Amino acid sequence: MAVTDQAILRIKAMLMSGELQPGDRLPPEKELGEKLGLSRSSLREAVKALELIRVLDVRHGDGTYVTSLEPRLLLEAMSFVVDLHQDVSVLEIFEVRRILEPAAAAMATLRVAPDDLESLREILRSVADDTSVEDLVAHDLSFHRRISELSGNAYLSSLLDTLASSTVRARIWRGLTAKNAVARTLAEHRRIVDALAAGDPDLVRSLVVVHINGVQGWLQEAGRALRTAGEG
């Protein structure tokens, strides 16, 4: 395991135990490094990575603070950083989604009924631009699951649902760090529903590709930024 990952996991353990709470100031660097058995350079790399995903807030001249995010979301984000350092499988999952999900959505276009469109619009109405990250992720999973179900292929729908469940932490991390993530996601979902209503499978396929590419591209950039932070 990379030294940066070890440092992140030790800070995570302090959050899980309640030793650190959202809003708390971290102990001075020398004291925290000795407490965790880490070199100052390793600790700095971990702090840079966690600052990048807004788990920590470095206030120059004042200290480093845990952000005010909910503890569960903080822990999800920290776990995902470690996963991304150690394993690129989440990117491969998005590649598979990019192949299968547009095809499922195009199939759904040929089968969708007025009641189905209303159920999708109801899912859209359940969230707004001020929706929390946690609720946005639940909405995203529900939206994509419903479209894959409308493909009429139970095996494909089940496979996509499994793939989607494996990317929950990536979705949470994007919601925490990407600017206007909620508004962007909802706008893209609305365009997909409008294309379904128009009965245009080619447009639906293209919109779903763009939607998944956006998340995949963001994830690749974020991973590169984290690795740069770890090498700094």
For the chain, state the CA radius of gyration.
Answer: 20
Backbone angles phi, psi at 67, to 5 degrees: -70, 175
Average of per-residue pLDDT across 106-131: 93
**pLDDT the model gives residue 36:** 85
Neighbours of 218 (CB within 10 A): 17
The pTM of this model reads: 0.72
Helix, strand, coil proportions of the chain in percent (round to 5)? 75, 5, 20
- Contact between 57 and 19 under an 8 Å Cβ cutoff? The reply is no
Tokens describing residue 140 = 């995203």
Report all structural domains of the chain as residue ranges with CATH numbers, in order of start. 3-86 (1.10.10.10), 89-227 (1.20.120.530)
Does pLDDT of 43 surpass 90?
A: no
- Which residue is listed with tokens 């447009």? 203
> Per-residue pLDDT for 57 more than 80?
yes
**pLDDT by residue (tens digit) across 198-232?**
999 999 999 999 999 988 888 787 777 666 655 55
Q: How many helices (H) and strands (E) does the chain have?
A: 11, 2
- Band of pLDDT at residue 189, cut at 50, 70 and 90: very high
